[in-house]
Amino acid sequence: MSKFCLILVAGLFCSLISAKVCNLPPSEWCSTNEISIACQVEKQCSEWLENGSEAAPPPVNVALYYESLCPGCKEFIADQLRPTWMKLGSTGILNVTLVPYGNAKEQKVGDLWQFDCQHGERECAGNIMETCVLSLTKFDIAAPVIFCMEATEDPAMAAKRCLQQEGVDVNPVLQCANSTMGNTLEHKMAVLTDALNPPHQYTPWITLNGMHTSSIQQKATTDLITLVCGAYTGSKPSACTNINNLKITYK
């Protein structure tokens, strides 16, 4: 629990305080250290303030918690995440985190983790393969590979073709997916998913700057680029200039 939480209301949970504080517009998130901590952007705000007022504001952080065969996840990736990344990925205003695990369960069996996935073994294979792609390649290369894989009925089987399309060496990724390395990396995805607060209830589960609300979820799944452009506190890139109603509220 942060000092900010203790000072404000003794006995209340920090998560409730953070949610209330982060109802402030993003332009206020770096106004005090306490607010930046509550809104989980302390590092970005610190870097921004250290570099002076002429430095660019922190990017908007979008995280997607998903599973490889989830129809709703595939739809979100195809209709919202992919086009938003294509328009904003090179502008510096957007960071994307992908966590392929979703509604899976895990248990330790001997030295390895055993995964039980909502859509069966093919989904587990897809999750691990995508985790290896994300772990072994830079995100600007990994992203189109994942988008390509998620546009198919069997992401794990499509991995080789999708990697080759982006000029990525296939062998390290395939070796990862079929080794203890991939098993360990997927366990880390499980840990990230299980650490969500509030806990995820479905997939896709989307957070904006570490926050999840029904409003953020609804806006992300219907018009992600407007959500991101509206959350960015600096000068909007040209990809945002033709978007209306950029002002957003956090509820």
Q: In sequence order, what are the residues at sequence separation of 6 or more whose Cβ sits closer than 8 angstroms to the Cβ of residue 150? A: 68, 73, 74, 77, 78
Do the beta carbons of residue 208 and residue 216 sit within 8 Å?
yes
Across the range 5-33, mean pLDDT stands at 53
Q: How does pLDDT run across 106-120, given as a tens digit for each residue? A: 999 999 999 999 999
Beta strand spans in 110-215 (E): 112-116, 205-208
* Model pLDDT, residue 3: 45
Domain 59-241 - what CATH class?
alpha beta
Separation of alpha carbons 75 and 27, rounded Å:
31
Query: Higher model confidence: residue 7 or residue 38?
Result: 38
Per-domain residue ranges of the chain: 1-58, 59-241
* Model pLDDT, residue 6: 41
Separation of alpha carbons 37 and 48, rounded Å:
14
Mean pLDDT over the full length of the chain: 86
Confidence band of 24 (pLDDT split at 50, 70, 90) = low
Other beta carbons within 10 angstroms of residue 184's beta carbon come to 15
* Model pLDDT, residue 219: 98
